[in-house]
Amino acid sequence: MNQRFALWRRQTARLLLAAGLSLLALCASGAAQSNPADQYELDDSHFHLTNYIQEGTDIHDFLKMMGTKVGRVALFGIPLQQQWSYENSGDYAPTYYLQTDAPLYYYSFTDAYIAMAYRSLSKEDQARFDPMITGFNPTDMYATDHIRRVLQTFPGVFTGIGEFSIHKEFVSSKIAGETASLTNPALDRILDFAAEVGLLVIIHNDIDTPFSPNQSDTPSSEPGPKPVYLSQMQALIKRHPKTTIVWAHTGVGRIVRPIKAHAKILDSMLSDPAFNNLYFDISWTEVAKYILSSPEATQVAANLINRHPDRFLFGTDEVAPKNQESYLKIYYEYDPLWKLLSKDASEKVRKGNYERLFDAARPRVRAWEAAHAK
């Protein structure tokens, strides 16, 4: 009897040890799988798969460009199509809005194209993308109906809306039809609907008009006259406190340079609880040229981000890149900025803030889709 009991104890001990080792291995495997972002250097909050004539990079080729550098990408097309007007450019086919005087027009099919590209991926690869709805006219009171139809036609795909533009240098005046405005009730309807669904919003709006005397290449300059669109943009954000809004490019552009005391104005907004729903992205090489224009300018930008590390996101704003080198060019250009950021701020701007905002939006949108499924 004693021998039997001793044998049973030894067998039981071996089984418990094996089970314990298996459990440890499983936990280790689960931990590795639950935090795959650690292997990547960055997430991209602002990327256009297609260009102004709706041509672009095959999404499977783009995955190869992302490689082990980029973890997740906010994926969108461009909501505008450049018209090829033979009367304007003859046999020359423009591919960019600066190459012709012909108008631009809203191109709604871009959302279906992005959805189908996304659906062509495996579930594992889909998890690395957050597609965005862009193919609506922000002057149209029916724009929310377009967004609703897209969500119901392609459930499980989209996480937000944007990048879409209101005031944009050289673009706004070229768009056929009514000119977009920050005070248009159609835009309010869009942002209200985004709050209802949980859609994250990326909006392009220049903070000022081109060639304004209020602008400067040195963001530490003394304040000048108030920029034209700042008050309207601030009022729009305040009217929609439940809508998560990313103000693309911090409001600057190719010609719309940083307003005087640009960093001070951004700092005052980010310090005001009335703008708790506001974030900025530092995407686009045109933005990088201002931030990197001098050591002083880079330090001003770094001080601002270090003060508000939870409120900035990195994005490339690349359009249909051909290879990884061109795709990540801006990321490496920003190296002087990364070196001036605290470890915590650098991690949040490059990855953490993206994951926090998009991970919050995804389940809310999925829940809305489930509740409104046709």
Question: Model confidence over 181-196: pLDDT tens digits?
Answer: 999 999 999 999 999 9
Provide the CA 183 distance to its chain's centre, in angstroms.
Answer: 23
Is residue 212 within 8 Å of 227, Cβ to Cβ? yes
165, containing H or E segment: strand 160-165
**What DSSP character marks residue 352?**
I
The position carrying tokens 């459930």 is 155
Mean of per-residue pLDDT scores for the chain = 90
The listed CATH number (3.20.20.140, 3.40.50.10170, 3.60.15.10, 3.40.50.11540) that belongs to domain 45-371 = 3.20.20.140
Question: Model confidence over 201-211: pLDDT tens digits?
Answer: 999 999 999 88
Is residue 147 within 8 Å of 368, Cβ to Cβ? no
Domain ranges of the chain: 45-371
Give the range among 31-40, 127-136, 273-282 with minimum mean pLDDT.
Answer: 31-40
Q: Is the pLDDT higher at 150 or at 10?
A: 150
Question: Model confidence over 304-322: pLDDT tens digits?
Answer: 999 999 999 999 999 999 9
What is d(CA 347, CA 350) in angstroms, rounded to the nearest whole number?
Answer: 5
